[in-house]
């Protein structure tokens, strides 16, 4: 299965880049499954139902979330109607929405997508390792699902590495989000799971993690409440990871980063 994961889409410029490029990428890279993190798609904070619809029309099969899941209150009433929008699995029981979804591709193959949030330097949630294990106990890689993708939305790289190792051999891809900075450590772990600490963001990199620089810098210079953070508006770079998996094992065969447009040095998977 040919899978593309795109990191946190930030604001209008991030959305515009996804809308502009994803339909072509789906075709040229012969993608079977596209997963995007949409927690910052609505002006940097949350995901509105209409933006979710736009991203899906552009070619996203599943949209994952994170600590900004509920910044757009209108998503709370909508998420139960749209199972392809997945919020972290380790929210407390009773939280709207689901922490995972199985999507069926046009050719009948199935892919499991799980979103989970780290706990280091973040909100106190349930144990992310146990939450993922609980979801995986209901599926069998290579049997009931041909691929499985885990978006670990976390601040600490250590927690993400640990998640990668715990899930090695049990899912196709463990990919980090939330820090909005693509890491150069993508590799296939010894058990066959593709791993990257952070996918990076789809946004304007002439910014502070996607937010306009002045207000974001002022927060560090003066320890006082300041201007509301606004997304930066320059051209976005798309940032993500492509993985090709073996349908019979569900494990990764090859992987390569995708960076396109904006300030980041471009790179396109060559397989
Ligand atoms: Fe984010
Ligand atoms: Fe986040």
130-148 pLDDT, tens per residue?
A: 999 999 999 999 999 999 9
In order of 70, 72, 87, 130, 208, the CA distances from 97 in angstroms are 11, 14, 7, 18, 30
The mean pLDDT of the chain is 97
Q: Taking CA 254 as the corner, what is the angle to CA 251 and CA 255, rounded to the nearest 5 degrees?
A: 105
pLDDT for res 205: 98
267 CA to centre of ligand 2 in angstroms:
24
pLDDT band at 227 (very low <50, low <70, confident <90, very high): confident
Question: Average pLDDT in the 4-21 region?
Answer: 98
Task: Write the burial class of residue 183 (CB in 10 Å: 0-12 exposed, 13-18 middle, 19+ buried).
Answer: middle
Q: What is the CA radius of gyration of the chain?
A: 17
40 annotated ligand binder: yes
pLDDT at 95 over 90: yes
pLDDT for res 263: 98
For residues 45 and 71, the answer to whether their CB atoms sit within 8 Å is yes
pLDDT for res 210: 98
- Residues 2-260, CATH architecture: 4-Layer Sandwich (3.60)
61 or 222, which is more confident: 61
Question: Average pLDDT in the 32-56 region?
Answer: 98
178 annotated ligand binder: yes
H or E stretch at 176 = strand 173-177
User: What whole-number distance in Å separates Cα of residue 191 and Cα of residue 162?
Assistant: 14
85 CA to centre of ligand 2 in angstroms:
15
Question: Average pLDDT in the 112-132 region?
Answer: 98
pTM: 0.98
Question: Average pLDDT in the 64-83 region?
Answer: 98
pLDDT at 224 over 90: no
148 CA to centre of ligand 1 in angstroms:
21
pLDDT for res 223: 79
pLDDT band at 54 (very low <50, low <70, confident <90, very high): very high
Residues acting as catalytic residues: 68
Domain boundaries along the sequence of the chain:
2-260
149-185 pLDDT, tens per residue?
A: 999 999 999 999 999 999 999 999 999 999 999 999 9
DSSP state of 246: -
DSSP state of 203: B
67 annotated ligand binder: yes
Strand, helix or coil at 195? strand
pLDDT at 226 over 90: no
Size (the chain), residues: 271
231 CA to centre of ligand 1 in angstroms:
12
For residues 217, 221, 224, 229, the Cα torsion angle rounded to the nearest 10 degrees is 0
What count of other Cβ atoms lies within 10 Å of the Cβ of residue 94? 5
pLDDT band at 225 (very low <50, low <70, confident <90, very high): confident
13-42 pLDDT, tens per residue?
A: 999 999 999 999 999 999 999 999 999 999
130: which 2 tokens? 């146990």
Question: Which of these, 127, 138, 137, lies nearest to 162 by C-alpha position?
Answer: 127
% pLDDT > 90, the chain? 97
User: What whole-number distance in Å separates Cα of residue 98 and Cα of residue 94?
Assistant: 10
63 - beta bridge partners?
A: 36, 85
143 CA to centre of ligand 2 in angstroms:
32
For the CA of 66, the nearest ligand = 2
């Amino acid at each position: 299965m040919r899978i593309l994961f795109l990191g946190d889409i930030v604001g209008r410029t991030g959305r515009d880049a996804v809308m502009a490029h994803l339909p072509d990428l789906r075709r040229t890279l012969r993608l079977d499954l596209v997963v995007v993190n949409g927690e910052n798609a609505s002006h940097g904070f949350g995901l509105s139902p209409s933006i979710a619809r736009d991203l899906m029309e552009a070619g996203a099969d599943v949209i994952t979330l994170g600590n900004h899941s509920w910044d757009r209150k209108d998503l709370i009433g909508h998420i139960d109607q749209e199972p392809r929008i997945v919020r972290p699995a380790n929210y407390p029981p009773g939280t709207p929405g689901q922490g995972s979804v199985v999507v069926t591709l046009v050719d009948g193959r199935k892919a499991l997508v799980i979103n989970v949030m780290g706990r280091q330097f973040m909100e106190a949630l349930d144990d992310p390792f146990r939450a993922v294990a609980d979801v995986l106990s209901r599926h069998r890689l290579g049997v009931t699902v041909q691929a499985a993708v885990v978006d670990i939305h976390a601040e600490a790289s250590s927690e993400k590495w640990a998640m990668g190792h715990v899930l090695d051999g049990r899912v196709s891809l463990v990919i980090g989000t939330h820090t909005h900075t693509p890491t150069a450590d993508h590799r296939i772990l010894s058990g066959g799971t593709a791993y990257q600490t952070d996918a990076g963001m789809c946004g304007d990199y002439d910014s502070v993690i996607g937010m306009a620089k002045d207000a974001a810098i002022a927060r560090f210079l003066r320890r006082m409440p300041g201007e509301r953070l606004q997304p930066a508006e320059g051209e976005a770079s798309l940032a993500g990871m492509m993985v090709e998996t073996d349908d019979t094992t569900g494990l990764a065969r090859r992987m390569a980063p995708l960076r396109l447009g904006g300030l980041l040095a471009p790179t396109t998977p060559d397989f």
